[in-house]
Amino acid sequence: TQLLEQSPQFLSIQEGENLTVYCNSSSVFSSLQWYRQEPGEGPVLLVTVVTGGEVKKLKRLTFQFGDARKDSSLHITAAQPGDTGLYLCAAPGGGTSYGKLTFGQGTILTVHP
Amino acid sequence: GAVVSQHPSWVICKSGTSVKIECRSLDFQATTMFWYRQFPKQSLMLMATSNEGSKATYEQGVEKDKFLINHASLTLSTLTVTSAHPEDSSFYICSATSGRPYGYTFGSGTRLTVV
């Protein structure tokens, strides 16, 4: 079972600040996904990265996949209160865990106006 | 896009009763569905994987007799929490995939409260 270590667990910042969330593993990922979840809702997919070194942008969000495909980061520029939520990285397993998504511990982001 | 409907969104039940949660893929055939459990301010923990027409595969530590999973069709999976107890109170989320790479769609979750 591949473990995903996500950090930080909690992040409380002021509107306009920048932040970065990290997702690391000792295993190599075939792909990695980032989700955002609001209270009382299911996770919503933000992005999927599949190529080592890949960088994807979604408005103020920048996602990076490490060259060795063992780590990923999510950077938010000029955070807004609407960015508040639980951010999760996830990766599908291989072998006997094929198709199963393993999630990181999650990062609870609170952006204060 | 792919849509997964989960019902009910919340349920309160008495201790000792059973509760059924439904997960439907509305516009695609879900060859595999996953059931997760989530505690407040924590990540999702996979409980079981179900493939249409076959028995579910449960993760280590999940009681298969307590959490009954049925995946009778390519669009419907159900999770039944049997003889529920207060410690079963949690947020349960389903996910479905048609087998398309990276294609996981999540339901909106069910908040179960056992009193």
pLDDT digits (tens, 9 = 90+) for A13-27: 999 999 999 999 999
Of the candidates B95, B99, B111, which has its C-beta nearest A40's C-beta?
B111
Residue A95: strand, helix, or coil: helix
Mean pLDDT of chain A: 93
Show the low-confidence residues of chain B (pLDDT under 70): none
Contacts of A92 in chain B (CB under 8 A): 102
The alpha carbon torsion through A52, A58, A60, A65 (nearest 10 deg) reads -10
For residue A95, what pLDDT is reported?
A: 67
**Which of B44, B60, B98, B106 should we substitute to test contact with A (largest number of A Cβ atoms within 10 Å)?**
B44
pLDDT band of residue A110 (cuts 50, 70, 90) is very high
- Burial of B34 (C-beta count, 10 Å sphere; 0-12/13-18/19+): buried
β-sheet bridge partners, residue B19:
B81
Cis peptide before B8 (omega within 30 of 0): yes
pLDDT of B1 reads 74
Size of interface A-B (CB pairs under 8 A): 52
